[in-house]
Structure 1
Amino acid sequence: MLIQGLSRGAISPLLLFFRRYIRVVVPVLVCWLTACSSHSPTPAVFASGYLADRGVVRLWRKDDTQQHLTTLVMVFSSLQGNDVKTTLYRFQQGVLREVQQTATLPSQGEVRLRFDQSGNVSFMQRQLPDRRESLSEDDIALYQFDARRLLALSDSLRTGKVSLIQGHWKAGQVTTCDGKTVRPDFDRASLAWIAQQNEHAGGPLGIAWLESPEGTQLLQVAEADFCRWEPTAETW
């Protein structure tokens, strides 16, 4: 289970603080984490993440300046079991236009929402295994709130250069999802946690970590392929 891969022994006070107060102090915290260094060009697709209350959040963002379109892909992996939820948000000129959500648990179904330029719902549907149903006004409001929150959060993380990197761990080095071989600068506690997970693993270890101008932070290590969650060219 993915809960076994959470780096509990290696989580610094910084990430504990990040987890508890992310909703209210993310811009300030990210600025502190990275010394507010934000003058280099931003990548076409920006990846970041953080440790939430009940799981690990991975966040990818792509901006199409010609179409004034911003696409966010959020992957939430629960700390309890193997529940993974993927949500795609599209914004045009800062206005939420689309939400698509899928989950590994069939009981949660799939959600699709579309909005017009004024923010009014033009299409909504929750597809469950045995039926389709509409969403309540509260459900829709929650999706809109989460979308705005994640958009603002991605702004702060990108400004602060807090980047997510993932791959496969083997013999002290990582083959990243894009095929590079790297040796992350983990601290002793993180390396000890990885060694412990590796000792009990029956297969290859997936690993995810955050890098910023201020250092490297292990996010998650588990007997799982995190690369399969990364968006593909077709996603955008």
Structure 2
Amino acid sequence: MNSFSEGVVSPLLSIWRSVAALAGVLLLSACSHNSALPPFTASGYADDQGAVRIWRKDSGGETHLLAVSSPWHNGATTTSEYRWQGDQLSLIELNIYSKPSEHIRARFDSRGELSFMQREVDGQKQQLSSDQVALYRYRAEQIHQTSDALRQGRVVLRQGRWHADHSVTTCEGEVVKPDLDSRALAHVENRQRRSSVEVSIAWLESSEGTQLLLVANQDYCTWQPVEKSF
């Protein structure tokens, strides 16, 4: 298990629940202090199902978003990539790392009409139904609205390698000490004792506090998106 589910309800899960309850309304905009948001951001949230990490870049009228969903217990990790031109969704690409694996891709033209769709399961190509496409479009808009709210609320995702002195070398090369609570620290230390390499952790920071999100032997920094190439 590469997740941390105990104690995720407070403080940052409360932010997500508020966002979900209001169907994407930017409840957290009051936290933004009306300052400009950076074009490239990393954020995330935890709910009862698992952890979601979100990277987003807004540039030249285009929005590029990658969401990585990691279930707490059962289920497969899923990566969901989306692109918008202005307000118009132009790309959906999903990779579901189950057995067998599943890959879904759909493209839309400048009018929002479907121009290409394909589902591939274990190497076998299939067509998507109109209902499936509609569901994926709906989920795309949901994650876009969630990302809007998390960015406005200044919920920031950080990742890196954990060290014995409780410091972390982030994927950006900075050495920091996350302000984790005792339960989170105990969880990381327990995972570290059972690992032959330094574990990676992912955590969230906001004005509400710091929350451990995930712990894994995998090096998150080998695949974390970087602004220049994203």
TM-score normalised by the chain length of structure 2: 0.87
Give the conservation status (yes or no) of the 8 Å contact 1:20–1:53. no
CA contact (8 A) 2:26 2:149 kept: no
Q: How does 1:72-221 map to 2 (within 5 A)?
A: 72-80=65-73, 83-105=76-98, 107-171=100-164, 172-221=166-215
- Alignment-derived partner of residue 20 in structure 2: 23
CA distances 1:166-200 after superposition (whole Å, capped 9, x unpaired): 01101210010111111111122222222222223
The structure where helix makes up a greater share of residues is 1
Q: Contact (CA 8 Å) 1:76, 1:86: kept in 2 or not?
A: yes
5+ residue gaps, structure 2: none
Q: What is residue 57 of structure 2 aligned with on the other side?
A: 62
Q: Would the aligned equivalents of 2:8 and 2:46 in 1 still touch at CA under 8 Å?
A: no
Residue identity matched to 1:13: S
Would you say the 8 A contact 2:31–2:153 is kept in 1? yes
Checking the alignment, whether the CA contact within 8 Å between 1:56 and 1:78 is kept in structure 2 is: yes
CA distance in 1, matches of 2:137, 2:48: 20
1-side partners of 2:160 and 2:5: how far apart? 16
Q: What's the CA shift for 1:82? A: 7.9
TM-score by length of structure 1 reads 0.85
Cα 1:12–1:18 change in 2 (3 A) is: same
Following the alignment from structure 1 to structure 2, what is the Cα–Cα distance between the partners of residues 185 and 35? 24
8 Å contact kept, 2:204–2:210: yes
Across the aligned residues of Structure 1 and Structure 2, the Cα RMSD in angstroms comes to 2.5
CA distance in 1, matches of 2:223, 2:49: 18
User: Are the aligned partners of 1:36 and 1:159 in contact in 2 as well (CA < 8 Å)?
Assistant: yes
CA-CA distance at 1:86 after TM superposition: 1.0
Note the residue ranges of structure 1 that are not aligned, 5 or more in a row.
none
Give the superposition deviation at 1:146: 0.8
